[in-house]
Amino acid sequence: MKNIVSEQSRVYLPIVENDQVYPVGRVFCVGRNYAEHSKEMGDDPERDPPFFFVKDASSVVPSAFSDVTRIAYPMATSQFEYEVELVVALGEGGRNLSLQQAREAVLGYAVGLDMTRRDLQAQAKKKGRPWEVGKSFDESAPISPISLKTDLLAGNVAKAEIGLKVNGDLKQISSVANLTWSIEEVICKLSEVFELRPGDLIMTGTPENVGVVVADDEMLAWVEHLGEIRISVTD
Ligand code: MN
Please state the domain extents for the chain.
9-234
Å from CA of 126 to ligand 1 middle: 18
Q: Per mean pLDDT, which range of 6-20, 106-120, 140-154 is the poorest?
A: 6-20
Q: Cα-atom radius of gyration of the chain, to the nearest Å?
A: 17
Pick the CATH number of 9-234 from 3.40.50.150, 1.10.8.60, 3.40.630.40, 3.90.850.10: 3.90.850.10
Give the pLDDT of residue 114: 98
Of 114, 69, 17, nearest to 228 by C-alpha is: 69
Question: Using CA atoms, how far apart are residues 113 and 91, in angstroms rounded to an integer?
Answer: 21
**Residues sharing a CB contact under 8 Å with residue 111, sequence separation 6 or more, in sequence order:** 84, 85, 86, 87, 143, 144, 221, 222, 223, 226, 227, 228, 229
Q: What percent of the chain has pLDDT over 90?
A: 91
Å from CA of 1 to ligand 1 middle: 41
Å from CA of 83 to ligand 1 middle: 6
Positive/negative CA dihedral, 234, 161, 26, 44: negative
Give the pLDDT of residue 10: 87
Bridge partners, residue 230, by sequence:
68, 220
Å from CA of 204 to ligand 1 middle: 7
More confidently predicted of 4 and 124: 124
Å from CA of 52 to ligand 1 middle: 10
Task: Write out the E strands in 77-207.
Answer: 80-82, 84-90, 106-113, 116-117, 141-143, 147-148, 161-166, 169-175, 201-203
**Other CB atoms within 10 Å distance of the CB of residue 178:** 16
Give the pLDDT of residue 130: 95
Give the pLDDT of residue 97: 98
Question: Using CA atoms, how far apart are residues 227 and 36, in angstroms rounded to an integer?
Answer: 24
Question: Using CA atoms, how far apart are residues 167 and 75, in angstroms rounded to an integer?
Answer: 22
Å from CA of 68 to ligand 1 middle: 22
What type of residue sits at position 170? Answer: L
What type of residue sits at position 165? Answer: K
Question: Using CA atoms, how far apart are residues 65 and 161, in angstroms rounded to an integer?
Answer: 17
Residues with CB under 5 A from ligand 1 (ion): 83, 114, 206
Find the helix or strand (DSSP H, E) in which 194 lies.
none
Give the pLDDT of residue 158: 98
Q: 38-80 pLDDT, tens per residue?
A: 899 888 888 788 999 999 999 999 999 999 999 999 999 999 9
Give the pLDDT of residue 43: 87
∠ at Cα 84 (14, 18), nearest 5°? 15
Q: What is the mean pLDDT of residues 83-108?
A: 98
Å from CA of 3 to ligand 1 middle: 38
Give the pLDDT of residue 133: 97
Q: 3-class SS at 225?
A: coil
Q: 203-216 pLDDT, tens per residue?
A: 999 999 999 999 99
